[in-house]
């Protein structure tokens, strides 16, 4: 049994499980490298339609592994920078994965694990889950996760939770936009399943392009260049095989071929 498990069902739903329950799924450099490689492989696999990320046992992830932190304390500045870049690359890989991603937050999500939640397209948490961006309480910074956290919960909420390091529950996570939906742990799989079913209704190519479009226009003013880019994107989509098939299926009152 490895530190990361992956399974895939007949619909193309790949479930990635952080599998260190004895350490509350805390991650170290080896686990980060494994996730980076796995996300790259899943992104290239045409049979994969949706990726679900979760944790084994009672926690989603407690963030950095304590033994890894001890090793980092002895690193030089250069070694620490290289080490931190590993996490930054993995989060970027998840954020730009050309497949819909769902964080199934089954329990505690702390520190760097908040980055995994924010880099996923959809996040659904158990009502029992707890959260904390706790780095400042150790004299550290939530730096590599900052772009994803700030984009997800906004500057105002990021200022509060990045600076206090306080723990908060699923209700608060929902209120500030960290997660999209919460459900009792016994109903979490049903809630995740409903989102997965909805994602499987979309065209894979269109979903990948939609993710890129969101990244391209986020936070930007609606300039003529943006208007030209977005108009060009929909024009291309209408002429593409998926667009033609989707429209034909709608007019013929049938299910399009790209649906699972």
Range 157-164 contact pairs with CB under 8 angstroms and sequence separation of 24 or more: 161/132, 161/133, 162/133, 162/135, 162/136, 163/136, 164/136
92 CB-contact burial (10 Å; exposed 0-12 / middle 13-18 / buried 19+): middle
The verdict on whether 135 is a catalytic residue reads yes
DSSP state of 59: E
Structure tokens at 130: 């707890």
Order of all β-strands in the sheet with 181-183: 4-8, 13-18, 50-55, 101-105, 122-126, 181-183
Write the secondary structure of 2-55 as one string of H (helix), E (strand) and C (coil): CCEEEEECCCCEEEEEECCHHHCCCECHHHHHHHHHHHHHHHHCCCCCEEEEEE
Residue with tokens 């709608």: 250
Q: How many CB atoms lie within 10 A of CB 99?
A: 21
User: Please, which residues bridge with residue 103 across strands?
Assistant: 53, 123
* Annotated active-site residue in 135, 166, 236, 252: 135
Q: Which residues contact 216 (CB under 8 A, 6 or more apart)?
A: 229
Active site residues: 135
């Amino acid at each position: 049994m490895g530190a990361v498990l992956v399974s895939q069902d007949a619909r193309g739903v790949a479930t990635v499980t952080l599998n260190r329950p004895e350490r509350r799924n805390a991650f170290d450099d080896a686990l980060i490298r494994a996730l980076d490689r796995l996300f790259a492989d899943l992104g290239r696999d045409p049979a994969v339609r949706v990726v679900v990320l979760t944790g084994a046992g009672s926690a989603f992830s407690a963030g950095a592994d304590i033994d890894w932190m001890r090793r980092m304390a002895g690193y030089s500045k250069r070694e620490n920078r290289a080490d931190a870049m590993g996490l930054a690359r993995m989060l970027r890989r998840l954020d730009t994965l050309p497949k819909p991603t769902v964080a199934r937050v089954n329990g505690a999500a702390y520190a760097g694990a908040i980055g995994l939640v924010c880099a996923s397209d959809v996040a659904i948490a158990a009502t029992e889950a707890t959260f904390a961006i706790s780095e400042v309480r150790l004299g550290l910074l939530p730096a590599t996760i900052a772009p994803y956290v700030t984009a997800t919960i906004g500057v105002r909420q990021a200022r509060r939770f990045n600076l206090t390091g306080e723990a908060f529950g699923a209700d608060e996570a929902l209120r500030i936009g960290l997660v999209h939906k919460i459900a009792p742990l016994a109903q979490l799989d049903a809630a995740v399943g409903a989102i997965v079913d909805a994602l499987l209704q979309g065209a894979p190519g269109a979903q990948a392009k939609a993710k890129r479009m969101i990244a391209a226009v986020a936070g930007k003013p609606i300039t003529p260049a943006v208007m030209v880019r977005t108009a060009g994107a929909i024009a291309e989509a209408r002429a593409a095989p998926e667009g033609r098939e989707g429209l034909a299926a709608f007019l013929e009152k049938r299910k399009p071929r790209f649906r699972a």
